[in-house]
């Protein structure tokens, strides 16, 4: 484990040169946790390569082991999953840290378990909403309850999810929809998963889910923009390659833009299928970023873009980001608060929008500030970008990046960034 993850704070020293070099990105967290679950639901042996090893994927793998699946880790970027094609009830509550994908995906998946399963997490997870998913599963006749509309969740599995129509409000998170889609292939009959209303969190993540399901043998038909039909095929074991993490790439693309550097990540932006890769076009416009940026379909990239916008030539308003309030922390509030800690009024909440009052003169200034990260990896990684150009920014709890990018501080160091 990197020594940087053990520190209580980290103060990057502003760079006086373009950041240049070649880095290998970690695997996609979103795809890794989908593939781990699907491999666990497939009979046989699946080999997952290019995988992410981080806190989020650790908790998913541990939960699957607790439910009778053999999960081996033969290398730093691979898993080998041996399964009988079904999960069994765990003897103890499943602890999932603050891994939202693991919590949401498993809540639906354990509906196919025979017996009771309790899913829990840390203090931050216990504040993250899951009621829309609970309500959708309860409407299918499942006995399920959550504590105050958030985890812990108790599921009384009936051995097999009942087929039929499942309606879900995906406005808060597309993960609810993905959870139902993946579980539906193991139901006793065909299922239709239908959105209540047209709003949904980043729709591109549904496409990730469908692609992974089909790779493991599922048969899914999209009936219209808000409805999918899933046949009860179950899943087949396979070898699956996971692409690099586009959300992680955004920090390095932004570091490149801020410093006038050239960072080779080994994969072009247009090769990603993850929705956060859309941020590259916005980053390429720096320091003439658009006056209004709709973040609804690249939500995890917004912290990166918001910090980059602090150095833009003109102010930037971020819209469509209400869902950021129910991530690892309230990211809208966190971004506004920490930007304004650097310079009062730099970040402003206006309803659910975030206005960044850009100021290129911040570059080179000595503005001592202790940046609170709220145990949120994306807040820590994005504000490290500001520290590349502003002296005196101390990033608290740098170890929180282990959630998705344990090697982040080492990667910046490899490019020439130094720390105090």
Q: Does 100 belong to an annotated binding site?
A: yes
Q: Does 407 belong to an annotated binding site?
A: no
Q: Does 378 belong to an annotated binding site?
A: yes
Q: Does 224 belong to an annotated binding site?
A: no
Q: Does 300 belong to an annotated binding site?
A: yes
Q: Does 327 belong to an annotated binding site?
A: yes
Q: Does 175 belong to an annotated binding site?
A: yes
Q: Does 280 belong to an annotated binding site?
A: no
- Residues in Cβ contact with 128 at an 8 Å cutoff, skipping those fewer than 6 apart: 98, 100, 103, 121, 150, 151, 326, 327, 328
Q: Does 174 belong to an annotated binding site?
A: yes
Q: Does 171 belong to an annotated binding site?
A: no
300 is catalytic: yes
Annotated active-site residue in 300, 330, 352, 376? 300
Q: Does 173 belong to an annotated binding site?
A: yes
Q: Does 403 belong to an annotated binding site?
A: yes
- Residues annotated within the binding site are 29-30, 34, 100, 128, 173-175, 300, 323, 327, 331, 378, 403
- Residues annotated within the binding site for phosphoenolpyruvate are 29, 100, 128, 175, 331, 378, 403
* Positions marked catalytic: 300
- Residues annotated within the binding site for 3-phosphoshikimate are 29-30, 34, 173-175, 300, 323, 327
């Amino acid at each position: 484990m990197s020594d940087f993850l053990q520190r209580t704070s980290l103060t990057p020293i502003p760079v006086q040169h373009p950041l240049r070099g070649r880095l290998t990105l970690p695997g996609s967290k979103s795809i890794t946790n989908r593939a781990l679950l699907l491999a666990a639901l497939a009979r046989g042996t699946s080999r997952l390569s290019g995988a992410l090893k981080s806190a989020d994927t650790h908790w998913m793998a541990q939960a699957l082991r607790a439910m009778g699946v053999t999960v081996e880790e033969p290398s730093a970027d691979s898993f080998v999953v041996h399964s009988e094609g079904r999960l069994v009830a765990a003897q103890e509550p499943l602890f999932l840290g603050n891994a939202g994908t693991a919590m949401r995906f498993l809540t639906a998946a354990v509906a196919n378990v025979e017996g009771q399963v309790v899913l829990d997490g840390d203090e931050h997870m216990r504040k993250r909403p899951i009621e829309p998913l609970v309500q959708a599963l309860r409407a299918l006749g499942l006995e399920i309850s959550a504590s105050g509309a958030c985890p812990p969740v108790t599921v009384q599995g009936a051995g097999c999810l009942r087929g039929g129509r499942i309606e879900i409000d995906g406005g808060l998170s597309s993960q609810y929809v993905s959870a139902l889609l993946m579980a539906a292939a193991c139901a006793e009959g065909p299922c239709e998963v239908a959105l209540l209303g047209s709003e949904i969190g980043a729709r591109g993540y549904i496409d990730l889910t469908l692609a992974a399901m089909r790779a493991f043998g599922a048969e899914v038909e999209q009936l219209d923009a808000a409805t999918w039909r899933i046949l009860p095929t179950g899943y087949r074991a396979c070898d699956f390659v996971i692409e690099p993490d586009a959300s992680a790439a955004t920090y390095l693309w932004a570091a490149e833009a801020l410093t006038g550097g050239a960072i080779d990540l080994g994969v072009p932006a247009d090769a990603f299928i993850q929705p956060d890769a859309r941020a590259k076009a916005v980053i390429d416009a720096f320091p003439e970023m658009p006056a209004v940026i709709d973040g609804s379909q690249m939500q995890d990239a917004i912290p990166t873009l918001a910090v980059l916008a602090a150095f833009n030539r003109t102010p930037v308003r971020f819209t469509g980001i209400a869902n950021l309030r129910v991530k690892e922390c309230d990211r809208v509030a966190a971004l506004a608060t920490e930007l304004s800690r650097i310079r009062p009024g730099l970040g402003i909440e206006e309803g659910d929008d975030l206005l960044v009052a850009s100021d290129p003169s911040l570059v080179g200034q000595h503005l001592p500030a202790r940046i609170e990260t709220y145990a949120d990896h994306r807040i820590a990684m994005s504000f490290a970008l500001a520290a590349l150009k502003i002296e005196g920014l101390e990033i608290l709890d740098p170890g929180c990046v282990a959630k998705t990018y344990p090697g982040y501080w080492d990667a910046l160091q490899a490019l020439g960034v130094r720390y105090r």
